[in-house]
Structure 1
Amino acid sequence: MKIATYNINGINGRLPNLLQWLREAEPDVVCLQELKCQDHQFPHQALKDAGYNAIWQGQKSWNGVAILAKQEIKELRRDLPGGGDEFTHSRYIEAFIDGLVIGCIYLPNGNPYPGPKFDYKLRWFKRLADHAQNLIGRELPVLLIGDYNVMPTEMDTYKPEKYVDNALFRIESREAYRDLVAQGWTDAIRHLYPNERIYTFWDYFRNAYARNAGLRIDHFLLNPAIAVKLKAAGVDKHVRGWEHTSDHAPVWVKLG
């Protein structure tokens, strides 16, 4: 089974790219982030024609998450527990697909640091960690997938010194990610490639993609019930080089 995550950076504007990649990569399940569309604008028919069922939670402007699957999708929740008036962003959706619990995550960016956006990022991270703690020990396989907006280590950025005060690399963000993984989750990419610089995002500016000046901020966390079935993982880096493409590349794992 092949499962992917892709911050699409505007699903309607990048729909041709998404459909081309789906034809090429043939993933069974895809988590999408940063839809940048409201619910009624989601291109569900085009995805259905491509062979994918979908659930989604859109939002005007910058947020929105969706899960696509060739199989039947049973929606489990459309937000993390412990919400309220403060947490109105569409950043989490969870589904049951072919025996797997899959959470699709778009964690807040948090910049600029310091400031209220960074404080919000950490509060949102705490809600994710609390929910993850409830999921980690389940007998069912669980995957928490998506754009975490965190570079966990210096190996996950081409230039660590540049990002010392960036919300994606602040020590508080990295500690929150480390504490989350320490619950018992397996970071799929880092587990399979412990010593390699692998990036999932390249900025549009300063010719970052051509220079391979990238960041690893899109992650797969697997609970013990499914981590033992991890067979392969990778990044479809070439998709970042397509015309009018997202600044992220699709990331995927294969489960045996």
Structure 2
Amino acid sequence: MKIASWNVNSLNVRLPQLQDWLRDFAPDVVGLQETKLEDHRFPDAALAELGYRSVFHGQKTYNGVAILARERALDDVQVAIPGFDDVQARAIAATVNDVRIVNLYVVNGQDIGTEKYAYKLRWLDAVHGWLADELRKHPKLVVLGDFNIAPDDRDVHDPATWNDDHILTSTAERAALKRLLDLGLHDGFRLHHDGAGIFSWWDYRQAAFRRNLGLRIDLTLVSDALKDDAVDAGIDRTPRTWERASDHAPAFVTLRG
């Protein structure tokens, strides 16, 4: 089972690219972030023509998440973080076969010390409680999405800039991510790649993609029960080379069987 995560940065703009990528890459399950579409505008019929079923949680202009599954049912769907009062469409979960998929579009946080940064930390704390409960019910769990956190210095192009006092790499954000991992989750990418310099997001400015000035903030996390079945993981840079590309590239993990 090939499971992928892609921040498409507007599905209205990127639908043709998503369709091309689904045909070529052929993932079994995909979590999308930043769809930026109200639910009645989600292109589920167009995706069904490619064999993908969809569940989605969206809003106009901002945020929005979805899970697609190829020729598989999406069961036990959960929209939003249970018990957390949040008007932003940032979380969705569903079960595909016997694997629980949780798709997250983590808050950016704007800057350290702002209300948006405080909201990000509250949001991540709520996710921690939710995932602890999900793991109790679903040992086979994959948590994926745009985490807006680079796990360590290998995941940034310039650690001197992206440091403990910078948004996306601050001490508190990385500690919040570690709390999630400490529940019994493993960074699928790091199960197969130890080196630095492989990224999933590049700013549109300063020719960042061409110069590989990026961050790895799109993650695929697998539970203890799936760790030994994660036979491959990586970043598919190809869609980032396309005209009018999203600023993110898809991240993926492949599970045996």
Question: Structures share a fold, TM > 0.5?
Answer: yes
The TM-score range, normalised by the shorter chain, is: over 0.9
Q: Secondary structure at the match of 2:161?
A: helix
After TM superposition, give the deviation of residue 66 of structure 1 in Å: 0.1
Q: Deviations over 1:212-253 (max 9, x none)?
A: 111000111111111121000111112101011100001111
Letter in 2 for 1:234: G
Provide the C-alpha distance between the structure 1 equivalents of 2:83 and 2:118, rounded to a whole number of angstroms. 16
> Deviations along 1:89-115, whole A, 9 cap, x unmatched?
100000011111100000000012221
Contact 2:155 2:196 in 1 (8 A): no
Which residue of structure 1 aligns with residue 180 of structure 2? 180
Partner of 1:108: 107
- State how 1:1-256 maps to structure 2 within 5 Å: 1-70=1-70, 71-84=72-85, 87-138=86-137, 140-164=139-163, 165-256=165-256
C-alpha distance in structure 2 between counterparts of 1:250 and 1:60, whole Å: 23
CA distance in 2, matches of 1:69, 1:196: 31
Q: Secondary structure at the match of 1:160?
A: coil
AA paired with 1:63? N
Cα distance in 1, alignment partners of residues 62 and 191 from structure 2: 31
Shift, 1:60, TM fit: 1.4
CA contact (8 A) 2:34 2:63 kept: yes
CA distance in 2, matches of 1:170, 1:143: 25
CA distance in 1, matches of 2:136, 2:187: 16
1:94 partner letter: A
- Please tell me the residue identity of whatever aligns with 1:216: R
Query: Secondary structure, in 3 states, of the residue corresponding to 1:173?
Result: helix
Distance in structure 2 (CA, Å) of the matches to 1:193 and 1:140: 24
User: CA offsets per residue over residues 172-210 of structure 1, 9 Å max, x none?
Assistant: 001111121112111110121123432111110000000
Instruction: Compute the TM-score of the two structures, normalised by the length of structure 2.
Output: 0.95
Deviation track 1:12-69 (CA, whole Å, cap 9, x = no partner) reads 1111111111011000000000011111111111101111000000111220000000
Q: Which runs of 5+ in 2 are unaligned?
A: none
- The one-letter amino acid of 1:37's match is L
Query: Identical aligned pairs, as a percentage?
Result: 38
Question: Contact 1:112–1:118 at 8 Å: present in 2 too?
Answer: yes
- Whole-angstrom CA distance in 2 between matches of 1:140 and 1:177: 19
The offset of 1:255, in angstroms, is 0.6
Letter in structure 1 aligned against 2:96: I
TM-score, scaled to structure 1: 0.96
Q: Aligned-pair RMSD on alpha carbons?
A: 1.2
Q: 1:195 to 1:136 in 2, by over 3 A?
A: farther
Q: Distance in 2 between matches of 1:22 and 1:131?
A: 30
Q: Name structure 1 gaps, 5 residues minimum.
A: none
The amino acid across from 1:67 in the alignment is I
